[in-house]
Amino acid sequence: MSATSPAVPAPAAVQPVIVTPDLDRLQAFYSGLVGAEEFTRVPEEGPAFFVGLRIGGSELGIVVDQNLKCSPG
């Protein structure tokens, strides 16, 4: 029996995803706040359902759900 531990795999990357009723507004917010840049969009043409943003070496997903209600404020 060996005293060494088996190799532990590196953890998988985690990409947080925010659900919003106003994808364009939230994307503009993160672009202005931290310089987020779009790297993917689904679908590629027309209104997006999902936008992937890159912030430095991290990624953030934004998904639209128009059934959500925004609180005033």
Query: Mean pLDDT over residues 32-59, rounded?
Result: 95
In this structure, the strands spanning 37-42 and 58-64 are: unpaired
Q: Between the CA of residue 37 and those of 51, 72, 73, what are the distances in Å?
A: 10, 27, 26
Residue 30 has pLDDT above 80, yes or no: yes
Q: What is the pTM of this model?
A: 0.73
Residue 27 has pLDDT above 90, yes or no: yes
Task: Return d(Cα 5, Cα 47) in angstroms, integer.
Answer: 50
Neighbours of 30 (CB within 10 A): 18
CA-wise closest residue to 16 among 54, 64, 72, 61: 61
